[in-house]
Every structure is written in C-alpha cells, then in structure tokens.
Amino acid sequence: MNYLRSYTTVRMYMENNNIGALLETIERRARVNRARVAMGIRNPNPKLLESAWKAQELGYAQVVLVGIKKEIDEIGTKLEVVDTDNPEKTLVELMISRKVDAVIRGTATASEALAHLKKALGKKGICRLALLLTVDGKPFFLAPVGIDEGNTIVDKLRIITLGAEHIRRFGVEPAVGVLSGGRIGDIGRNKRVDRSLADGEFVTRRAQELGINAKHYTILIEDAIKESNFIIAPDGISGNLIFRTLAFLGGGDGLGAPVLMDDFVFVDTSRVGGHFTKAIMLASSLSHLNKER
C-alpha cells in the first residue's frame, strides 16, 4: 500500500507539474470535493447571485450565501442563506466552527472581514496569494496583493516561503520572479529605487538559500511572467495595482486570493466585476487539498 500511494503521488505530480494544467487540477478537485462554501453578500444583485448558483450547478461546491436574507430573497435564489446583518463576522464564525468547509469574501467588506479573521486566528497580519490569468489564459500566482502586506524584507520572505509551500500542494514547483522598482542601470537615480533594487537582490539570494527557485527580474515584469509562475511585487500597493490593472483593464482575470494558512480556507475576492464562480471553485479545491494533508 505504501508503494501504491507513493506511485500515485509521483504520477499526479508528474501530470500536474505544469502550470498550464493548474486550472484543470483545481476544477477536478473542486468537483471531487464539492465542499460547503460560504460566500459573503452585501448589496446583492442578480449577476452576483447567478455566479454563485452557477458554481453549485457546475458541481464545484454546495454554496451558502451569508447576508441579509430579506435583500437576497427580493432577488430570488435556490441557494441556502444564512441570515445576518454582519456577514464579515458571520463568515469567520462559520469557518472557525467548521460549519462550512471554506469561505470566500464575496462582496463583504474587506477591512472588516479581514479584521475579524485576524482576531479569530490571533494574528496581527496575514498573507494572501492571488491566482491570476493573463489575457492569453496563462495562470500565475501573485503576492503581496494587500496594501498592508509585504512592506519589509521579512514580510516578503515569509510570503515567498508560505506561498511556495501552498503552490506545491497543487503539484506545481514554484518558480519565483522577484520584482523591484527599476533596472540595475537605474542605481543612483533615486534612493527609493536603489533601496528597492537592493531589497530585491537580497530577497532573491535568501530565497535561493532556502532551496526555492528564485530570480530577480528588477522592474521587468514582462520577462518575469515568461519564466516564473509566482510573481513577488515590490510591495502590497504595487501588487494590488498589478492585479487590478490585469483583471479590470488588461483583459485578464482573477480567481481569488487565498489567505495562507494550514487549518482553514478563506479566499479573498474583489467586489469589482461580480463573477465569483471561479473563486468558489478555488475555495472548494483548497478545502480538498487541506483534507489530503
């Protein structure tokens, strides 16, 4: 039995150690798991509820809407609804009590939902890892994406190590592309750029010492995306701008940004766009991976 388990693990790794196969892996595992996924709801609209229903109809999850039931019922849905005027708090309570297998923020308020999450976990800060698609459909991971994340060398190294571990759960070996605020030839033009370049060099060397495949691409994100599947932005503000530019202006897409933690699944989402089917799929898949550990 040990041999068979080892053989299966190796075979799955070889099949899926291609970033291009990542979405197929996520979709397959979501359908196998069909987790109970709670989704935060504020200001419901037909498009929002339809995207949640589609996730259930496609077999990705059993979706539970968390928000003011009266407002949701006025639009109409066949999905289960947990009635609350504080979906940010209720989402975290459902997760911690394990009444659901996973949570996505949906349209709940980001600052409040993340504040409740930090309090429940007893942590001052969290790390999120966004899964994005380029305009031509290539998936890649991006961090930091929170404006208060990744602002120090210690933070960035923590994101890289946690993110690499998270990516390996999908059977993909991380290739980290570290970005900074300019080219090497720009040294001396601006102290802030000089500091960013120095930080990028240091973070890359330290990641390599930790056994992680990493390369410093300076400001050349267009080169990094050709060779890397895990992009590290200079800080959370620039990471958030990269995400928003790609997803809302550049024709790409965002599946969601899971919080990097071992025991629970919380996928952060943007309220812009209104499509949450893929985020629910991702949450269900991650819940399946947690069960395998």
CATH number where 64 lies: 3.40.50.10950
Give the residue, 269 or 275, on which the prediction is more confident.
Answer: 269
- C-alpha 61/C-alpha 52 separation (Å) is 9
The answer to whether 203 touches 150, Cβ cutoff 8 Å, is: no
Whether 235 and 288 map to the same domain: the answer is no
* 111 token code pair: 């600052």
Res 19: pLDDT = 77
Query: Across residues 89-114, what is the average pLDDT?
Result: 97
Whether 137 and 186 map to the same domain: the answer is yes
Q: What's the structural domain count of the chain?
A: 2
Whether 202 and 291 map to the same domain: the answer is no
Res 290: pLDDT = 61
* C-alpha dihedral, 97 to 101 to 107 to 109, nearest 10°: 30
Whether 243 and 134 map to the same domain: the answer is yes
- C-alpha 59/C-alpha 207 separation (Å) is 39
Whether 118 and 39 map to the same domain: the answer is yes
Q: Residue 17 corresponds to which amino acid? A: N
Position 284 pLDDT exceeds 90: yes
Question: Could you tell me the CA-to-CA distances from 122 to 52, 150, 290 in Å, in that order?
Answer: 30, 19, 20
Whether 274 and 240 map to the same domain: the answer is no
Position 6 pLDDT exceeds 80: no
pLDDT-above-90 percentage for the chain: 83
pLDDT-above-70 percentage for the chain: 91
Least confident of 81-90, 159-168, 262-271: 262-271
Position 243 pLDDT exceeds 80: yes
Position 4 pLDDT exceeds 90: no
Position 213 pLDDT exceeds 70: yes
Res 161: pLDDT = 97
Please provide the average confidence, as pLDDT, over all residues in the chain: 91
Res 18: pLDDT = 67
- C-alpha 275/C-alpha 266 separation (Å) is 17
Range of the domain at 288: 1-126+261-293
Query: Across residues 152-178, what is the average pLDDT?
Result: 94
Query: Across residues 196-225, what is the average pLDDT?
Result: 97
Position 13 pLDDT exceeds 70: no
Q: What is the pLDDT of residues 128-151, one digit of tens each?
A: 999 999 999 999 999 999 888 998
Res 8: pLDDT = 40
**Owner of token pair 């404006």:** 147
Whether 136 and 93 map to the same domain: the answer is no
Q: What are phi and psi of 169, to 5 degrees?
A: -65, -25
Q: What is the DSSP letter of 171?
A: T
Give the residue, 123 or 19, on which the prediction is more confident.
Answer: 123
Give the residue, 74 or 2, on which the prediction is more confident.
Answer: 74
- C-alpha 110/C-alpha 240 separation (Å) is 13
Give the residue, 277 or 170, on which the prediction is more confident.
Answer: 277
Whether 55 and 148 map to the same domain: the answer is no
Q: Strands (DSSP E) along the chain, which ranges? A: 35-40, 61-67, 80-83, 102-104, 130-133, 139-143, 175-178, 213-216, 230-232, 253-258, 266-268
Whether a cis peptide bond, with omega within 30° of 0, leads into 144 is yes
Position 245 pLDDT exceeds 50: yes
